[in-house]
Chains A and B, each alone.
Chain A
Amino acid sequence: MGNVLTIVLQRLAFGLITLLIVSMVIFIAVNLLPGDFAELILGQGATPEAVASIRHDLGLDQSLVTRYFGWLGGMLTGNLGTSFAQLNFQTNLGGGGGVTVAEQIAPRFANTMFLASVTAMIAVPIAVTLGILAALYRNTVFDRATNILTLSSISSPEFFMAYILILFLSVLNPILPSLSNIYDGMAFGERLEKTLLPALTLTLVVTAHMMRMTRAAIINLLASPYIEMARLKGMSPMRVIVKHALPNALAPIINVIALNLAYLVTGVVVVEVVFVYPGIGQLFVDSVKIRDIPVVQACCLIFAAAYILLNLTADILSTLSNPRLRHPK
């Protein structure tokens, strides 16, 4: 057992170091901006005094290293700074502070997690079942048809899938709403209904990939001697796959599921924009357009952290599902 623990701890430490370096990369990238935040905020009519005052307020007159650790510390304690857009608006009204980035991100982050989990609930069972079926009936018409369908859905852009679904499920047959205007305090059923169309779009994209990998993982195993043995003793093909092949194919399948959930993190951006879903991806794109640097920086770090975390989980789970590592001789 100690063996596994060391591996897991090693992976965890490695993930943390990666996250630290990634945060450094993001910080340096943002500091590649010409001029600095103060000039960006004030725009054309900046007087030297105003620039100096804002620079002092934002702590820009300190050294790069001090600012990095200040920013990192803020990130860890949940203080993500103040968004430029909100800052301007609030100061113009004569109010103080303005809405912090954390206040802006928190509800949207919850919405995005909701979308991702609905997608995962639909996609994972379908993908694994279809993958098993395709492996069972490999080289038949069914297998070839699913191969063509999944290859097409992997390679189409997300917004194409989204508009096709809107066309058929929302415009021609008004079953689901095409706009996901979710707000606080909405009933769960209604919320689910409004989330369903974006979730279905993401499902189409993610399922195809998971299914192909599941099929490949199972087919890889079917050549092994113990499968031959099970078949020779007269087991039905379905039982051979479910009882003998599937448990051994679990590691690659878990890996693929986690990797695809990590992919969801990126895919979510485009889909949220199409359906005007109030998630973190929508906020990210809006902030990119108006160059709201603190929000962009924070969203980028959150996306990267989620991505690294899911990859880490994939790594650890596939290690844990390997019986040779769990029961060392």
Chain B
Amino acid sequence: MSAVFNIALGIALIAALAWVFRLAGQKVTGNAPRFRDMPFGVAFGYILGALVLVWLIWAFVQSRSADLVTANKFFFLGLAIKGFLLFAAAAWVFRLLGRHIGTAGTRKLFRTIPLTAAFGILVIIVYAILAIFANVIAPHGQDEILQGVAANIIPGSDPDFPLGTDQIGRDILSRLIYGAQNTVGIAFATTLLAFFIGGSLGFLAAVVGGWTDQILSRGVDVLMAIPSLIFALLLMTIASVWSSRLGIPLTVFMVLIIAVIDSTRVFRLARAVGQNIVVMDYIEAAKLRGEGMWYLVFKEILPNATAPLLAEFGLRFCFVFLTIAALSFLGVGIQPPLADWGTMVRDLAAFISYAQFAPLVATLPLLAAGAIALLTVAVNFVVDWMLQKSSGLKE
């Protein structure tokens, strides 16, 4: 009950401060319009924001204190603040570079780009480099059990293993880097497959129409009525029996299952976009020329549908990536010994309880989960910017 009382007291205090702040502003500036017309809610917001900022600075100072108990308690907040500042600075520098280096087209693009989108592009580039060159960058193999090295080395205690080793003596840093290759690579392949299935069927439904369209659309309706994670889990149960019977890795089944489930969403969009294009005169002209179905779909419709499909690709990739991470986290996704972020989070999760006395150890599961979150956030920032740009929303 005292917590509720404290919160109420805090709100009352902020409200009083806000009122004083507005009054003082009016008196000092001689009733400038900025303060005269300020609604009370805005003043409240300013005070709240200022208090949060002060608290964050205080927490940052606390995280650097000599007393180990206090320092550990604020370690994660300090880390988050440092990370935020670092990322913001990196994004700013990246945008500055983009404005001066490159072709005229990219320079123009970078002049209007918001900082969040620049951050998103930077993160995507870094992930792509990590994923493609994981074999070169990672110091050890992903499933290499290092000989003569202790298991469970605590992060920071051995300079050869900056993030330590796991319970059977594998280098965690290497596994994190390989995770980019496996998790992101598999998600990317799945999204491509989903787009191939959903896109071609969607355009087909738009071009042919009639019964084909009806059958495909109703089928998609039924598949979309089942929540996707639940359906994926059901099919994975069945696939796990098949995979042990046929000797095909479960991961292959997972890619197929998620691709089919997600292709239904792509189908909807491709069909809607395709139907708008099919009624155009140039399609009619191509039909009169006697062009075949293949030509119509890939040479006439696809080039005109790239913009919406590209934005959808980003969003779809996020969904697929999160679904795969969730499945792996639940233990039915990407299978060991492949290094994968979802599985790593599950395996390392128990370390969180050591946060009070060994904060570095507790960061490990959050690092793997954060790696997933960072990429999806980055992609979403870029897609958000692209959508805003293409819809011309200024408001």
Contacts and interface: CB of A to CB of B under 8 A. Distances in A.
Interface of A: 18-19, 21-22, 25-26, 29-30, 32-34, 40, 133, 136-139, 141-142, 148, 151-152, 154-160, 163-164, 166-168, 171-172, 178, 219, 236-238, 262, 265-266, 269-270, 273-274, 284-285, 288-289, 291, 293, 296-297, 299-300, 303-304, 307-308, 311
19 contacts: A29-B238, A34-B245, A40-B241, A137-B41, A151-B377, A156-B372, A157-B322, A157-B329, A160-B369, A163-B366, A163-B369, A265-B227, A265-B230, A266-B229, A269-B330, A289-B331, A291-B237, A296-B234, A300-B233
A122 B205 CA distance: 43
B355 interface: yes
Given A156-B376, A159-B345, A163-B366, A288 B352 contact: no
A219 B234 CA distance: 40
Nearest to A19: B225
Interface in B300-355: 318, 322, 325-326, 329-332, 342, 345, 349, 352-353, 355
B349 to A, nearest CB: 7
Nearest to B368: A160
Interface residues of B, number: 57
- Find the residue from B245, B353, B373, B380 having the highest chain A CB count within 10 A: B373
B139 interface: no
Nearest to A26: B234
B281 interface: no
10 closest cross-chain pairs (CB), A and B: A156-B373, A160-B369, A155-B376, A266-B227, A155-B380, A171-B355, A303-B230, A266-B229, A304-B226, A300-B234
B369 A157 contact: yes
B234 A172 contact: no
B238 A30 contact: yes
Task: Name the prevailing secondary structure of the A interface residues.
Answer: helix
A285 B232 CA distance: 11
A163 B349 contact: yes
A156 B377 contact: yes
B225 A308 contact: yes
Given A34-B245, A159-B329, A273-B330, A303 B227 contact: yes
A164 B362 CA distance: 11
A266 B228 contact: yes
A137 B377 CA distance: 24
B298 interface: no
Contacts of B326: 157-159, 269-270
B384 interface: yes
A291 to B, nearest CB: 6
Contact of B116 (A25, A148, A236, A285): A148
Given A21-B222, A22-B225, A29-B234, A172 B76 contact: yes
Contacts of A285: 233, 330-332
Contacts of B353: 171, 178
B297 to A, nearest CB: 28
Contact of B76 (A168, A178, A262): A168
A152 B230 contact: no
B365 A307 contact: no
A22 B222 contact: yes
A164 B329 contact: no
- Find the residue from B228, B237, B342 having the highest chain A CB count within 10 A: B237
A235 B326 CA distance: 49
Given A22-B226, A304-B225, A33 B238 contact: yes
B284 interface: no
B230 A284 contact: yes
Contact of B45 (A19, A137, A163): A137
B49 interface: yes
Nearest to A139: B395
B230 A269 contact: yes
Contact of B42 (A22, A137, A284): A137
Contacts of A18: 221-222, 225
B323 to A, nearest CB: 10
A262 B76 CA distance: 34
A270 B330 CA distance: 7
B229 A288 contact: no
Nearest to A175: B3
